[in-house]
Amino acid sequence: QQQVKQSPQSLIVQKGGISIINCAYENTAFDYFPWYQQFPGKGPALLIAIRPDVSEKKEGRFTISFNKSAKQFSLHIMDSQPGDSATYFCASWGTNAGKSTFGDGTTLTVKP
Amino acid sequence: GAGVSQTPSNKVTEKGKYVELRCDPISGHTALYWYRQSLGQGPEFLIYFQGTGAADDSGLPNDRFFAVRPEGSVSTLKIQRTERGDSAVYLCASSSTPGLAGSITSTDTQYFGPGTRLTVL
């Protein structure tokens, strides 16, 4: 049973546009929600993360919006650049719980 | 400082053989995780170590998979009697001791290695 569902599977955006990727989780015990970026042949790298006590977190061009009641969170990439082209994964887990769950990924292509 | 390293970067083996995959975590990180990533999918949790002990091994698919971390640093993932379905990228990650609820600190972040691509022929 997949506990984290991510959409869309792929996304094409023009340079300068906004990329939006969505994630839904099931386990209400989760309290840590990161987004990871992965380039081909590399391991995932943390992009930004949020805890459920806030509804939004912004770091540069990247913003996480969090809706605790709907059990959903999303990644917004403002002013998308060709260098942002990568696969993005949402994840969630409970602090001190160890076991983490990742979404299936979104392949983002930013066209110049 | 150095990040998480994994060796080998690529491993090709034959069905039925035994393989060992190694992970060197970031120095001082007490938590270590193994994941398996198949093509087009997200990392799938296998096992989590806190120090030397396996705190959660519920993701190991069957008893052919085993992992150790005898001194609380380097970890080895061992796969016996490999099957073609074991072919995937095996990722290792490490983090500091999980932080307190209500705060996000670097202790929550899992830092991933580049992975070992395992191909079972």
The residue of chain B with its CA nearest to that of A10 is B40
Residues A51-69: what's their mean pLDDT?
94
3-state SS class at B106: helix
Chain B residues with CB inside 8 Å of A96's CB? Answer: 98
Tens-digit pLDDT string for chain B (121 aa): 589 999 999 999 999 999 999 999 999 888 899 999 999 899 999 998 988 988 889 999 999 999 999 998 999 999 999 999 999 999 999 988 654 333 444 457 889 999 999 999 9
Between chain A and chain B, the number of residue pairs with CB atoms below 8 A apart is: 72
The answer to whether A99 contacts B93, with C-beta atoms less than 8 Å apart, is no
Q: Which of B40, B99, B114 faces A95 most closely, judged by CB atoms? A: B99
Spatial distance between the Cα atoms of B43 and A37, rounded to a whole number of angstroms:
12
Residues B6/B115, Cβ–Cβ less than 8 Å: yes
- Confidence at residue B77, expressed as pLDDT on a 0 to 100 scale: 98
- Confidence at residue A7, expressed as pLDDT on a 0 to 100 scale: 96
Spatial distance between the Cα atoms of A18 and B42, rounded to a whole number of angstroms:
23
Phi and psi angles of residue A83, each rounded to the nearest 5 degrees, phi first: -70, -10
Spatial distance between the Cα atoms of A17 and A110, rounded to a whole number of angstroms:
9
Which single residue is written with the structure tokens 């076991």?
A99
Residues A60-73: what's their mean pLDDT?
95
Share of chain A above pLDDT 90, in %: 79
